[in-house]
Amino acid sequence: MVEAFGGPGVVLAGGLAQRMGGGDKPLHEIGGHTILARVIVRLEPQCESVVLSANGDPLRFAAFGLPVIADGVKQHPGPLAGILAGLDWAAAHRPNAQWVLSAPGDCPFLPRDLVARLRQAVSTQGAELAVAASQGRSHPVIGLWKVALRDALREALVVEGLRKVRGWTGRYRVATVAWPAHPVDPFFNVNTVEDLAEAERLAALEGLA
């Protein structure tokens, strides 16, 4: 088990499954478990606590027994708003936390050493942010964020109208940490019906269920 890093993890759980017939993507099932349940199981041992970032009726996530936080920025401007909500929650409820982990709710195979490797990269590289990567590309919504940057992020969202995650991370020293993509890319995300079928196949592999 990876030692908890003393900060919360925020799961960006509000994505709509428009290419899968609607509803919340994280609530679709793989191998008898929701994608969100798989995400939570992988993150809870790594984080001091886990919260869900989602707008709308929070009761649809009641079965998970976790705090559900809505965007504090009007018009719900994408994942950066969810990350900011996580930073604000940490500042209010975990005042000693310096970092927040973010991860999307549609990645059922997140690595169990996600936090440990991101933390190590931040430390060794003197970085201000850390993001995960695989197959030669980064995944900017999967990373560590400094709670101290929350007001700067709020200004970027509200005043500048910034929407792209890379537009934000590009302003800071970022440590990028790559994971192998075999036998499965740990950052495989479920966007389509075909992805859901592939996730079922991957979940059946030994050690990934």
What local confidence, expressed as pLDDT, does residue 209 receive?
Answer: 52
Tell me, yes or no, whether 208 lies in a domain: no
Range of the domain at 144: 8-203
What local confidence, expressed as pLDDT, does residue 3 receive?
Answer: 41
Distance CA 26, CA 147 (A): 26
Tell me, yes or no, whether 182 lies in a domain: yes
Q: How many domains does the chain have?
A: 1
* Low pLDDT (below 70) residues in the chain: 1-5, 15-23, 206-209
Q: What CATH number did the domain enclosing 137 receive?
A: 3.90.550.10
pTM over 0.85: yes
